[in-house]
Amino acid sequence: MRHLVHEAQYSSVSDILISASKEIERLNEPLLLLCQPTLSSSLSMAVIESSLVDNGIAYRRKFSIDEPQSPWIKIIDDDSEITSIETNPFRLTISTSIVDGLISHNGEYRKGPLTSVAQSHALAQLISPNGIRTRRLRPWLISGNWLNHAMDNSYDPLYSALRDFLLDEGIIRVVPLPEVPEPNVSEYDWIDENILNAVSSRWGSLDLEGKARALSNLVRDSLIRSKPSTSRLEEIVWHCILAPGWSTDMVSQISSARVFWEDNSPNIASSKVIDKLIRDGKM
């Protein structure tokens, strides 16, 4: 099992996260987890909470970023702060940062966001390397990158690097949209669900050329629009993320999760998503 903190993309925060995991082991009072009630923060909180539950470490959750006197971990979705640690009392801030991702064909590093979600997964792995709940949530490692605006502007090398990590570890499968048993494409008015269902029903009988043609026809209406970006389009249609026990891909689950915020207050929505992820490992 490879540890995320040993991957090159984590080099700027690895020492901080390793130190934090050791401090958490030494705590003799409940740890306070702080965040705003957003979907991204919920994905960060869920994996940290899972690792604490797996290891029997007491904690409390609070939807606020006001800093009390007791030991705490604070999740920041964007890069408005930096990932940092203090001791006596223990205080850890986890914030998105821009780091080197993959090396391009001309030998230059491509930069991208190391999100608070991705850093939270690395911390959780240190706290509970073999925890059942923690490991079950590992496929969500790249969910923060999907939510990050970088995917709207250009290729995100961190998303690709971390997706490759999950593939190499056998944690996920990457399949085209017609191979997803229960996709949710309700957010994409450029996908005709009837056409998708028709393509899915005959997918197994198509050769490679036929499959390529079917997918091209499926996304034809997206080509005259400014959104989604090319990188998002590829992930929505060609590179769907599935994990053991999932009938719905990661992006579709994220689309479904947004409904929680439409139907509930932010605090309730976040609580429901976090609790469901800890319990089921999926949304």
For 229, residues 6+ apart whose C-beta sits below 8 A from its C-beta are 151, 152, 153, 154
For 217, residues 6+ apart whose C-beta sits below 8 A from its C-beta are 195
pLDDT digit string, tens, across residues 183-235? 999 889 889 899 999 999 999 999 999 999 999 888 887 777 768 888 899 99
pLDDT at residue 105 in the model: 58
pLDDT at residue 51 in the model: 98
pLDDT at residue 103 in the model: 62
Least confident of 23-32, 119-128, 152-161, 264-273: 152-161
- Find the distance separating the first CA and the last CA of the chain, reported in whole Å: 25
The length of the chain in residues reads 283
SS3 label, residue 242: strand
pLDDT range class, residue 134, cuts 50, 70, 90:
very high
Which residue type does 200 have? S
pLDDT at 17 > cutoff 90: yes
Mean pLDDT of 78-99: 94
Show me where the domains of the chain are located: 4-168+260-280
Distance of CA 275 to the CA centre of its chain: 16
- What residues form DSSP beta bridges with 62? 34
- What residues form DSSP beta bridges with 109? 103
pLDDT digit string, tens, across residues 58-68? 999 999 988 88
pLDDT at residue 100 in the model: 82
Query: How many C-beta atoms surround the C-beta of residue 101 within 10 A?
Result: 23
